[in-house]
Structure 1
Amino acid sequence: MTSATTPPSTPHAPPTADASPGGRDDLPPLDVLLPAPRRLDPDPREDALAALYADEPPSRGPWTVRANMVTSIDGAAWGPDQRSGSINDDADWRVFRVLRALADVVLVGAGTARAEGYTALGRPRGLTHLRAAPLELALVSRTGHVPERLVAADRPPFVLTAAAGADAARSVLPDDRVVVVGDAQVDLAAGLQVLADLGLRRVLTEGGPTLLGALLRADLVDELCVTTTPGIVGPGPGRIVAGDVPAGPQQGVPVLPRGARLAHLLHSPHARPGAPAGTTIARWLLPIG
């Protein structure tokens, strides 16, 4: 889960899916390198791009968890300003919109939502044909603290919290939006089960790295989508996975996946003006067990 030690900006794209990071309306084409080479030209409906992500891998429960993160080529999860927006680009944003359009719920750490100014989510403009139901937001917060702008939203988020944070969450949110799973720590698997019971089965997590680390540690991630943008940040920023992720079998801790299968690889030679080109976007499927 996101903690106070997590950098102030950890999701991999802007909170809104309708604001291109480059401020452009002419989104770049994407070359499919694998499995079969072809070109995906910009398309307002994004049917071909959505089809690449539509098939679901074998899941670990009655839900699927797709993580979507961005990194520089030297492994940084954010740029010099401690914001991931300074390392993503319009090619990444094009995929970001499609992944949100295909999801039922976006799962983020509460600290990430606070730092990035998340608001109640909506379907990306022009992509409601991919999924018409409202796109929900779910926060993971051990303490139950919710960003003020989300408390005031017309459609407040769900909050997955521990027993210790239940009172804080219920003091600002309707009871049906507070999901208490765990005592001192949030039980992520139990939280995903509650969301699935509500019909929110397709889960997209956008970070931050600490939440992704916790999901990996619990062996709850079915696929990992990673955008690598052609920049070098240098020493300082952390990786897209943070927290106490075990390196091998431990008592009571599931073994992390040791390999992954590359479902597809995209490439964009274009970027925002003044930025280097050569972004790659990979979709990795993680084995079960």
Structure 2
Amino acid sequence: MPVQLLWPAPDPAPDLLELYRTPPEPWLRLNFVSSLDGAGHVGGRSEPLSGRADKRVFGLLRMLCDALVVGAGTVREENYHALRLDERRRAWRVAAGLPEYPTLVVVSARGRLDPGHRALAEAPVRPVVVTHRRTDPGRLADVADIVAAGEHEVDLAAALAALRERGHRQILSEGGPRLFGSLTAAGLVDELCLTVSPLLAGPGADRITTGPAVETPQALTLRHALLAEGSLLLRYTR
């Protein structure tokens, strides 16, 4: 499955690892896929929009991160598995001085997560659940570390600061749309990796972001554009 670099300089066989390396400072990267007409899902799930190249980059970004942050609704709706990597990616992480696996971080304002969900119960390293101080985590504390950020609602800036204090400097988020919208509104997004799938999903599907309107749009800069099997894989940073 060939992946071509279109921009900034054409290359029929680009080094994806180098293209997706992040700067050394703390960094928040988001990864999403969208249809040509702006749909963030088909039938309630993003997986039908994803092709082989998108899955390849999806795995690469997980390999590079310290922690994967995702909303509780996305864990349920996308039927998340435990955050595991294959042997080759684990070996790369160990050689790079990273823990064998990244840490799964689930954001849940209500704490209504099933502690038996496989993403938590089968995680290779103890996950983290981010919530606020008015939430009773209950049995979640048996399977995950609890980070309370904010008094009545989740304070995402405080949550990211707490994660970085735990050593998670390179953070990846796969959504969902409400978490994306909240991170944008809080001015916390450093990077967006967006795959544009060559599909028309039609009306009805939500966008990849949702929530209250943002007062001032944030400008990002295109870092590269890849082409694979009709999909465009774009990387934008602040």
TM-score, length basis structure 2: 0.90
Partners in 1 of 2:192 and 2:206 — Cα distance?
Answer: 18
Partners in 2 of 1:125 and 1:93 — Cα distance?
Answer: 17
Instruction: Identify unmatched segments of 5+ residues in structure 2.
Output: none
Deviation digits for residues 183-212 of structure 1 (CA, Å, limit 9, x no counterpart): 111011111111111111111000101100
The one of 78, 89, 98 equivalent to 1:116 is 78
Partners in 2 of 1:124 and 1:34 — Cα distance?
Answer: 30
2:28 aligns with: 65
Q: CA deviation at 1:40?
A: 2.4
Kindly indicate whether the alpha-carbon contact (under 8 Å) linking 2:82 and 2:120 is maintained by their aligned counterparts in 1: no
The alignment covers a number of residue pairs equal to 230
What code does the residue aligned with 1:213 have? Answer: G
2:191 aligns with: 223
Q: CA deviation at 1:247?
A: 3.2
Structure having greater relative contact order (Cα 8 Å, sep ≥ 6): 2
Q: CA deviation at 1:170?
A: 4.2
Partners in 1 of 2:151 and 2:187 — Cα distance?
Answer: 20
2:231 aligns with: 279
Q: CA deviation at 1:174?
A: 4.1
Q: CA deviation at 1:142?
A: 0.6
CA 183–55 in structure 1, closer or farther in 2 if over 3 Å, else same: closer
CA 151–91 in structure 1, closer or farther in 2 if over 3 Å, else same: closer
Partners in 2 of 1:209 and 1:124 — Cα distance?
Answer: 28
Partners in 1 of 2:127 and 2:56 — Cα distance?
Answer: 25
Matched, 1:161 2:123: no
Kindly indicate whether the alpha-carbon contact (under 8 Å) linking 1:69 and 1:227 is maintained by their aligned counterparts in 2: yes
1:212 aligns with: 180
Matched, 1:266 2:226: yes
Partners in 2 of 1:260 and 1:159 — Cα distance?
Answer: 29
- Partner-residue secondary structure (3-state), 1:128: helix
The one of 106, 109, 114 equivalent to 1:139 is 106
Kindly indicate whether the alpha-carbon contact (under 8 Å) linking 1:151 and 1:173 is maintained by their aligned counterparts in 2: no
Partners in 2 of 1:213 and 1:116 — Cα distance?
Answer: 18
What code does the residue aligned with 2:41 have? Answer: W
- Partner-residue secondary structure (3-state), 2:235: strand
- Partner-residue secondary structure (3-state), 2:89: coil
- Partner-residue secondary structure (3-state), 2:147: strand
Partners in 2 of 1:175 and 1:197 — Cα distance?
Answer: 21
Kindly indicate whether the alpha-carbon contact (under 8 Å) linking 2:120 and 2:144 is maintained by their aligned counterparts in 1: no
Greater alpha carbon shift after TM alignment, 99-108 vs 118-127: 118-127
Kindly indicate whether the alpha-carbon contact (under 8 Å) linking 1:230 and 1:279 is maintained by their aligned counterparts in 2: yes
Partners in 2 of 1:136 and 1:197 — Cα distance?
Answer: 14
CA 195–234 in structure 1, closer or farther in 2 if over 3 Å, else same: same
Partners in 1 of 2:122 and 2:184 — Cα distance?
Answer: 30
Q: CA deviation at 1:164?
A: 1.9
Partners in 1 of 2:232 and 2:6 — Cα distance?
Answer: 10
Deviation digits for residues 196-243 of structure 1 (CA, Å, limit 9, x no counterpart): 111111110001011000000001010000000100011000111111
TM-score, length basis structure 1: 0.75
1:23 aligns with: none
The one of 16, 35, 41 equivalent to 1:49 is 16
Kindly indicate whether the alpha-carbon contact (under 8 Å) linking 2:39 and 2:201 is maintained by their aligned counterparts in 1: yes
Instruction: Identify unmatched segments of 5+ residues in structure 1.
Output: 1-27, 42-47, 249-255, 271-277
Partners in 2 of 1:125 and 1:84 — Cα distance?
Answer: 26
Partners in 2 of 1:285 and 1:30 — Cα distance?
Answer: 21
CA 228–151 in structure 1, closer or farther in 2 if over 3 Å, else same: closer
1:252 aligns with: none
What code does the residue aligned with 2:85 have? Answer: R
CA-atom RMSD, angstroms? 1.9
Partners in 2 of 1:175 and 1:31 — Cα distance?
Answer: 42
The one of 12, 29, 37 equivalent to 1:39 is 12
Q: CA deviation at 1:176?
A: 7.0
